Amino acid sequence: METAIYVRVSTEEQAQEGFSIRGQEQKLKDYARVKDWSIYNIYIDEGISGKNITDRPAINKMITDIKNGHIKNVVVFKIDRITRSTGDLAYLIDLFSKHGCSFNSLTESIDTQTPSGRMFIKMIGIFAEFERENIAERVRLGCERKVKEGYSLCGNQVSYGYDREDGQKIQTINEKEAPIVKQLFDWYVNDNMPLAQIAKRFNAMKIPTKNSNTWTANTVRTILTNCTYVGRVRYSLGDKDKYFEADGLHEPIITLETYNKAQKQVEKNKKVSGTKKPRDDNYFQGFLYCPECGSKLKTHGSYNRNGKGETIYKGAYRCRNKLFGNCAFPQTSNSKMEKAFIEYAQRISEFTEIDDNQLKQIQGQQDCIQEQCDCIQEQCDCKGTDTNTRTSHIQQTKQLIQTYKDKLNQLDIRDKEILSLYVDGNVPFDRYREIKDKIDKDRKEAHSELEKLATTEDTPPEFTREDFVLEFKANWEHLTNIEKRQFLMKFVKKIHLSAHRADNKHNWLIVVEDVEFA
């Protein structure tokens, strides 16, 4: 935990034993080593009174570092070293809490990580709570009025596609970003492109976000659901009870028709997606509904052993009400479900009226799309579904993850070693800080790589906008399980089932009675 050591003496206290700068500093350094805290910096205000914090350069520098997220813990020799003002103390405690920074006093044994320390802080907080609430109420009323008048609050950042300079009340269109917003909506609404695929394309095109970061599926979703792009402004996005929208004074970027289509698609994807990500073998999850009670079928797979002693996962679906004896619909396997779906497709007359040239054209498009699939870390081309290749990728990913975990352990050991050397006086602070910064940089890079590896997954290919009948006939038998789910996400809204006992058989016959198309 990055710790700031703060020490202060006023002129008349310089000669007092125990209050000297060096005395405070050494005791706090030893305390930090015992607690296994990393020392970010030592802030010293020498010969300055503690009656306020305005005239103390060191404490103000520390406050700036806390606001910038560099410090997560502050330790002082005694509370009056940091301030003698109750008002300033309440301000500092509130600041620490806001930025996730702990506070510790060595002499009073106050540690906000302990129950007694937290109780002390709460007592201080009571005196400041009333004023904070009054200020918050005044700010809230002002913000509500501003939004109702058509002005965007913008917060810390203007929406992508817009700019608002200091002192400017109405946001204006950013001519470089606006076309990106239009392209994003076009890909999602007209081309049915997945969120992750849109983000991947923007990253490949080297297009930065507003913060010059990389695009993610969440970034794309945030833009798609932002009413700012149709000339509206909104208030209290995080509180549904207080949330409202109003006509804005700024110019729109996209049409209301396009925006409404995007909202329907986003909402549909929410409903289709299950409470957890489906396994490859359960790609019908979210589309199946029980014909007996109308509930959405849940996944319920099983593990069996084959003749070679290997464990095989078998995807299946069942009605949750069956568990409580309120439904008689039987459990059905994913393979039976797929068979029923294919049989339903064959029963529709449109599937038998396909021109051979049309079919070859779609199959050719499918081959081109398959060749564009990126493998892990975009270092090779996935031109098929070879099992050994995919297994190799998984093994390589696991090895990389373990390598970065081992590296993090070694960095933790080095961090403790350099701290001990500094506290014992064997390494000057400048050298300690230099090594510490290098360790922190390496640690951040390792965590970043681990995060990328943990979220790496096959990205489903992009499908062309062709008629459902042609797509099914040309693609279904050639698709991987992930691609089959993406196919369903594009074309299917709901699958209606029925179940009948087979003649003289114990098994049930699952039939797809109807399909509601998106």
Non-local CB neighbours of 12 within 8 Å, separated by 6+ positions = none
Q: Bridge partners of 333?
A: 316
Strand (E) or helix (H) holding 317: strand 316-318
Q: Which residues contact 58 (CB under 8 A, 6 or more apart)?
A: 6, 8, 43, 44, 45
Least Cα distance to 177 among 161, 199, 159 occurs for 161
Sign of the dihedral defined by the CA atoms of residues 361, 362, 367, 373, in that order: positive
Which residues make Cβ contacts (< 8 Å) with residue 49, sequence separation at least 6?
A: 10, 55, 84
| Helix orientation angle between 468-475 and 481-491, rounded to the nearest 10 degrees | 170
Instruction: Say which residues have a Cβ less than 8 Å from residue 275's Cβ, sequence separation at least 6.
Output: none
For the question of residue 10 being annotated catalytic, the response is yes
Q: What does DSSP assign to residue 377?
A: G
Residue 304 amino acid letter: N
Letter for the amino acid at 239?
D
Q: Residues 363, 316, 196, 258: is their CA dihedral positive or negative?
A: positive
The candidate with the shortest Cα–Cα distance to 101, out of 63, 74, 128, 129, is 74
Tokens, residue 58: 């060191």
CB 461: neighbour CB atoms within 10 A?
Answer: 22
Alpha helices in 149-216 (DSSP H): 178-189, 195-204
Q: CB 27: neighbour CB atoms within 10 A?
A: 17
Q: How far apart are CA 275 and CA 271, in angstroms?
A: 9
Cα Rg for the chain, rounded, in angstroms? 31
d(C-alpha 505, C-alpha 214), whole Å:
57
The DSSP call for residue 172 is: E
**Structure-token pair, residue 125:** 């907080």
DSSP per position, 231-291? TEEEE-TT-TTT-EEEE-SSPPSS-HHHHHHHHHHHHHHHHHS-SSPPPGGGTTTTTEE-T
How far apart (Å, rounded) are the C-alpha atoms in residues 376 and 381?
Answer: 9
Q: Where are the alpha helices (DSSP H) in 107-190?
A: 115-148, 178-189
Cα dihedral sign, 480-486-491-492: positive
- Residue type for position 410: Q
Catalytic residues, by residue number, are 10
